[in-house]
């Protein structure tokens, strides 16, 4: 018999095909884990005879084949290692993030600290629908932010400053979008082709292409699964704090207005995305919003 207790009711406890056993999913925001935490998980895996540890697509670790009778004990042990039981059901689940500015040469934002802050404020909150949040520090989108209920993408808009361009073409070579060309011996940016990756800003040896400052594109309503859907662009904001503000407003909206049983993407279709976008935009200070193409 499966024991009914509060730990079992958490989404991070996943009953297996043999209902006497479950898989324990841990909470590891952005998939960042210290060596001490790893040792702790290894010790717990051995203690409870998990045959292996599974790395998930949402950057967490799972301990498979745990008997339900050990749930309270294992939950306590996991909390002590700093990797408590995670979530999976209609909740805000593990926040995923790429390495961001700390390590990746393409990064425009500090995605790891943003992921930690969102996790600290919102992780595990019960919702009418599951909410997955993914952060990528540049438009390369390594964490697939467009395929999550909420996706955050760090961008930089390039600005061609006045100055003596040699027409060397270095920026043209670096731009993978074909958004820069040399016309009459000088570089010209095409904003319609530019995805605001910021690569050209770092490429010009004469620093003629400047950054307008980092900003954050927030997309909503994406999903993976049997009917994948690309998220829609909701808003662009100019600071880490503004992102958290927008994410909290989206969560509040979903918490109050969405209903269980249908994915957020479908509900946004029913309620007209334009109206949703307007509702959220109206709640964010104008000084925090970047108009696209500005």
* Helix, strand or coil, per DSSP, at residue 29: helix
Residue closer to ligand SF4 (CB basis): 183 or 227: 183
CB of residue 127 vs ligand SF4: minimum separation in angstroms? 26
Of 23-31, 123-131, 166-174, 282-290, which part binds ligand SF4 (CB under 6 A)? Answer: 166-174
Listed as own residue / partner, the contacts of 272-281 with beta carbons closer than 8 Å and 24 or more positions apart are 273/221, 273/232, 276/220, 276/234, 277/234, 277/235, 279/253, 280/234, 280/235, 280/246, 280/249, 280/250, 280/253, 281/235
Among 83, 199, 265, 267, binds ligand SF4 (CB under 6 A): 199
Burial of 55 (0-12, 13-18, 19+ CB in 10 A): exposed
Number of Cβ within a 10 Å radius of residue 88: 20
Among 19, 43, 69, 167, binds ligand SF4 (CB under 6 A): 167
Judged by CB under 6 A, does residue 177 bind ligand SF4? Answer: yes
| String marking each residue 253-272 x if it binds ligand SF4 according to CB under 6 A | --------------------
Judged by CB under 6 A, does residue 168 bind ligand SF4? Answer: yes
CB of residue 105 vs ligand SF4: minimum separation in angstroms? 7
Burial of 286 (0-12, 13-18, 19+ CB in 10 A): exposed
Judged by CB under 6 A, does residue 200 bind ligand SF4? Answer: yes
Of residues 83 through 102, those in contact with ligand SF4 by CB under 6 A are 98-99
* Helix, strand or coil, per DSSP, at residue 198: coil
CB of residue 161 vs ligand SF4: minimum separation in angstroms? 9
Distance between CA atoms of 209 and 203, rounded to whole angstroms? 8
Residue closer to ligand SF4 (CB basis): 9 or 164: 164
Query: 133-136 and 61-67 as β-strands: parallel, antiparallel, unpaired?
Result: unpaired
Judged by CB under 6 A, does residue 175 bind ligand SF4? Answer: yes
Among 161, 166, 252, 272, binds ligand SF4 (CB under 6 A): 166
Judged by CB under 6 A, does residue 189 bind ligand SF4? Answer: yes
Residues 6+ apart with CB under 8 A from 111: 30, 97, 98, 99, 100, 101, 135, 136, 137, 152, 154
Binding site for ligand SF4 (CB under 6 A): 98-99, 104, 106-107, 136-138, 140-142, 158, 165-171, 174-175, 177, 179-180, 187, 189, 194-200, 203-204, 206, 208-209
């Amino acid at each position: 018999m499966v024991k009914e207790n509060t730990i079992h009711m958490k989404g991070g406890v996943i009953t297996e095909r043999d209902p006497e056993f479950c898989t324990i999913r841990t909470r590891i925001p952005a998939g960042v884990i210290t060596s001490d935490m790893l040792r702790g998980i290894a010790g717990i895996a051995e203690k409870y005879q998990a045959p292996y540890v599974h790395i998930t697509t949402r950057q967490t670790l799972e301990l498979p084949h745990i008997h339900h009778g050990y749930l309270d004990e294992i939950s306590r042990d996991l909390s002590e290692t700093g990797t408590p039981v995670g979530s999976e059901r209609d909740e805000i689940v593990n926040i995923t993030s790429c390495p961001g500015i700390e390590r990746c040469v393409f990064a425009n934002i500090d995605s790891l600290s943003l992921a930690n802050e969102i996790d600290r404020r919102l992780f595990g909150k019960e919702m009418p629908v599951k909410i997955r949040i993914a952060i990528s520090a540049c438009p390369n989108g390594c964490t697939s932010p467009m395929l999550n209920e909420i996706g955050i993408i760090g961008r930089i808009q390039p600005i061609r400053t006045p100055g003596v361009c040699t027409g060397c073409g270095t920026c043209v070579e670096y731009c993978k979008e074909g958004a820069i060309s040399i016309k009459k011996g000088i570089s010209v940016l095409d904003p319609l082709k530019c995805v605001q990756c910021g690569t050209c800003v770092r490429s010009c040896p004469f620093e003629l292409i400047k950054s307008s400052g980092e900003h954050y594109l927030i997309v909503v309503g994406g999903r993976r699964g049997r009917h994948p859907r690309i998220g829609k662009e909701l808003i662009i904001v100019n600071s880490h704090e503004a992102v958290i503000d927008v994410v909290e407003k989206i969560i509040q909206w979903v918490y109050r207005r969405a209903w269980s049983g249908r994915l957020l993407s479908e509900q946004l279709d029913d309620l007209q995305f334009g109206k949703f976008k307007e509702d959220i935009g109206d709640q964010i200070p104008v000084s925090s919003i970047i108009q696209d193409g500005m």
